[in-house]
Chain A
Amino acid sequence: MVIRIRDKADLWTLLMPPTVWALHFLFCYLVAAVHCAKKGGINLAEPSSGASFAPLAEVRPLVAIGTAVALALIVVSAWQAWRHWGAGTEDPPHDAATPEDRQHFLGLATLLLSGLSFASVIFIALPAFLITDCR
């Protein structure tokens, strides 16, 4: 994975944004699942009030930090891809069999994937802030 900024685009830089998206999804899912399982429960023997659901307020800071980190990584990745693409100096399609065109193609594809991953990470984080409890 990209630990440092790379001068050249390759498959690893291309995979960076969707990988961050997937890891963020896994992180949110695990945090919510563990919290809801430990802090709430359903007692079906009691009428109506038998269900007790943990509020989600406690997981919000964790999800917020995870989301901020994920968005930051995606922005770094997008900025890097913007440079690999050539900052929009040339228009697609970058389909010539030359190293330059390959760089431009990978850069543009990574940039578009970054946009998709950015929106998706926000969509995944939203429920934690709009749903009140684990119900």
Chain B
Amino acid sequence: MHREFCRRGAWLLPLALAACDGPQSALDPAGHEAEAVSQLFWWMAGASLVLWVLVVGLSFYASRRREQPWPARRAARLILVCGALLPTLLLAALLVFGLRLMPVLRAPGDGLRVEVEGQQFWWRVRYVLPDGRRFETANEVRLPVGSRTEFLLTAQDVIHSFWIPSLGGKMDMIPGTTNRLVLEPTQTGRFRGACAEFCGASHALMAMSVEVMEPEAFTAWVEREAGAAAASTDEGAALFLARGCGACHTVRGTAAAGRVGPDLTHLGARPTIAAGILPNSPENIDRFIRETQAIKPAARMPSFGMLPPAESAAIATWLGSLR
């Protein structure tokens, strides 16, 4: 029985370790703050293991190996040292370590500012460049590697929480308040962010794609993203406006200038749609238009299943082509 359990356990171990990396793991850090937090976590986990072994070992020793009572004086000293002095010193060391970390992690940003507003159930993302230019996007954050980007976080409706585990700790987004968070990615790559505060029916479906890029690639992306989409004047564009999508969504370069829903100007260039839920493809965009409430329950956008399939497909194709 025991051996059987061990054999199964051995199978599970690589699986458990494999769960540590990936695009959304605080244990696989790719940012300055995440590295500090993960280092702290491993030190604490290691030290807890040592203490646990020590305590269990002592209780085993006391109950099985040595059954005579200890002299009262020695026992009192053991309790004083191991039960009071040692924990106080350990806590003091942890407190000093944590407090010394804070000024480093909270140093100001290098100039790029990203304002993110949480809404049920997506993220409005506004870039403010060091030269003062601004542009808006949604559900996607791109950052230059090696520089400190300042996030100003707020919420429109209820409390959300902004968390990119691979890059740093989480920060609440509170209506009426602006919170600051500075992240410094140290590796390029694709990551995933998530809402970390329960915010409603589709809380678990509120994610975002994060891409850390080389500075040159980032600058090129900014130049492209700040401009209007290469909006074609095909059937999809006309239908998008005719069916009223522009009342809620903005596509810069067209007459659509709604402020209720996500900006769709460069939707085709984003890796995911529906706030990190579906891979970006015209089929998925079409599905999201027709079955919005099935994919994202309680979202403010109604399902547009009443559109003729050919029309929604044309709109989806056009949106997918906005790069």
Nearest residue, chain B, Cβ from A88? B76
Q: Beta-carbon contacts of A120-131 to B below 8 Å, as 1s and 0s?
A: 001100110011
Nearest residue, chain B, Cβ from A44? B178
Known: A115-B84, A122-B92. A47 touches B128 (CB 8 A): yes
Please tell me if the beta carbons of A131 and B102 are within 8 angstroms of each other in the complex.
Answer: yes
CA distance A2 to B102 in the complex (A): 39
Please tell me if the beta carbons of B108 and A51 are within 8 angstroms of each other in the complex.
Answer: yes
Please tell me if the beta carbons of B95 and A123 are within 8 angstroms of each other in the complex.
Answer: yes
CA distance A127 to B96 in the complex (A): 8
Contacts of B9 in A (CB 8 A): none
Please tell me if the beta carbons of A126 and B99 are within 8 angstroms of each other in the complex.
Answer: yes
- Residue A98 at the B interface, CB < 8 A? no
Please tell me if the beta carbons of A44 and B152 are within 8 angstroms of each other in the complex.
Answer: yes
Please tell me if the beta carbons of A48 and B108 are within 8 angstroms of each other in the complex.
Answer: yes
CA distance A123 to B89 in the complex (A): 11
Please tell me if the beta carbons of B130 and A48 are within 8 angstroms of each other in the complex.
Answer: yes
Please tell me if the beta carbons of B103 and A48 are within 8 angstroms of each other in the complex.
Answer: no
Report the minimum CB–CB distance from B302 to chain A (whole Å). 34
A88-135 contacts to B (CB < 8 Å):
91, 115, 119, 122-123, 126-127, 130-133, 135
- Residue B244 at the A interface, CB < 8 A? no
Report the minimum CB–CB distance from B244 to chain A (whole Å). 34
Please tell me if the beta carbons of A126 and B95 are within 8 angstroms of each other in the complex.
Answer: yes
Contacts of B178 in A (CB 8 A): 42, 44
Report the minimum CB–CB distance from B18 to chain A (whole Å). 37
- Residue B111 at the A interface, CB < 8 A? yes
Report the minimum CB–CB distance from B290 to chain A (whole Å). 40
Number of A-B residue pairs having CB atoms within 8 Å of each other in the complex: 46
CA distance A123 to B111 in the complex (A): 35
Contacts of A126 in B (CB 8 A): 92, 95-96, 99
- Residue B132 at the A interface, CB < 8 A? yes
Report the minimum CB–CB distance from B99 to chain A (whole Å). 4
Q: Beta-carbon contacts of B93-104 to A below 8 Å, as 1s and 0s?
A: 001100110110
Query: Which residue in B99, B111, B180 is a CB contact (below 8 Å) of A130?
Result: B99
Report the minimum CB–CB distance from A94 to chain B (whole Å). 14
Contacts of B72 in A (CB 8 A): 91
Query: Which residue in A51, A91, A130, A135 is a CB contact (below 8 Å) of B96?
Result: A130
- Residue B150 at the A interface, CB < 8 A? yes
Nearest residue, chain A, Cβ from B101? A130
- Residue B88 at the A interface, CB < 8 A? yes
- Residue B113 at the A interface, CB < 8 A? yes
Please tell me if the beta carbons of B113 and A47 are within 8 angstroms of each other in the complex.
Answer: yes
CA distance A127 to B106 in the complex (A): 14
- Residue B146 at the A interface, CB < 8 A? no
- Residue B109 at the A interface, CB < 8 A? yes
Please tell me if the beta carbons of A123 and B130 are within 8 angstroms of each other in the complex.
Answer: no
CA distance A51 to B132 in the complex (A): 16
Contacts of B91 in A (CB 8 A): 123
Nearest residue, chain A, Cβ from B72? A91
CA distance A122 to B152 in the complex (A): 34
Please tell me if the beta carbons of B111 and A135 are within 8 angstroms of each other in the complex.
Answer: no
Please tell me if the beta carbons of B111 and A48 are within 8 angstroms of each other in the complex.
Answer: yes
Report the minimum CB–CB distance from A89 to chain B (whole Å). 14
Known: A44-B152, A47-B132, A51-B180. A131 touches B99 (CB 8 A): yes
Contacts of B150 in A (CB 8 A): 48
Residues of B that sit less than 8 Å from A by CB: 72, 76, 84, 88, 91-92, 95-96, 99-100, 102-103, 106, 108-113, 128, 130, 132, 150, 152, 178, 180
21 A-B pairs within 8 Å (CB atoms) are namely A44-B178, A47-B113, A47-B128, A47-B132, A48-B110, A48-B111, A48-B113, A48-B150, A49-B108, A91-B72, A119-B92, A122-B92, A123-B92, A123-B95, A127-B99, A130-B99, A130-B102, A130-B103, A131-B103, A132-B103, A135-B103
Known: A49-B108, A115-B84. 13 other contacts (CB 8 A): A42-B178, A44-B152, A44-B178, A47-B130, A48-B109, A48-B110, A48-B113, A48-B150, A91-B72, A119-B88, A126-B92, A130-B102, A135-B103
